[in-house]
Amino acid sequence: MENTIVVNKETVRKNLSTLLSDTMDTLGYSWGRWQDEREYEDIIDYAQLFTKAIEKSGFQFVKMTKRPFGFIVKPNPEVAIQYYCNGRNAGYKQVFK
């Protein structure tokens, strides 16, 4: 999934929130399914559930994560953001540069 990386800070901030809004329901549902099916399903199969929203945000998909359940995107070359769900809440945080 190759995307143009967003560099403008204001656009990045807006797109971070929009991506969370666009994926929150799916992220919660997917977390619940992962809890039941993790022994039988590959985590990367869940990436396709978030593809459209990630492409719309202009971010680059990096990988799916198991703990906490979610995915990592790069809004620009210097920053990586993890979107996550742990059953009680969902959010995003910077994970590395």
Q: Is 79 helix (H, G, I), strand (E, B) or coil?
A: strand
Q: Is the CB of residue 4 less than 8 Å from the CB of residue 15?
A: no
- Answer whether residue 97 shows pLDDT above 90: no
Per-residue H/E/C for 15-63: HHHHHHHHHHHHHHHHHHHHHHHCCCCCHHHHHHHCHHHHHHHCCEEEE
pLDDT, tens digit (0-9, with 9 covering 90-100), for 44-54? 999 999 998 99
pLDDT, tens digit (0-9, with 9 covering 90-100), for 52-96? 899 988 899 999 999 999 999 998 888 899 999 988 888 899 987
pTM of the model: 0.85
Q: What is the dihedral of CA 73, 78, 20, 95, to 10 degrees?
A: 80
For residue 7, the model assigns a pLDDT of 57
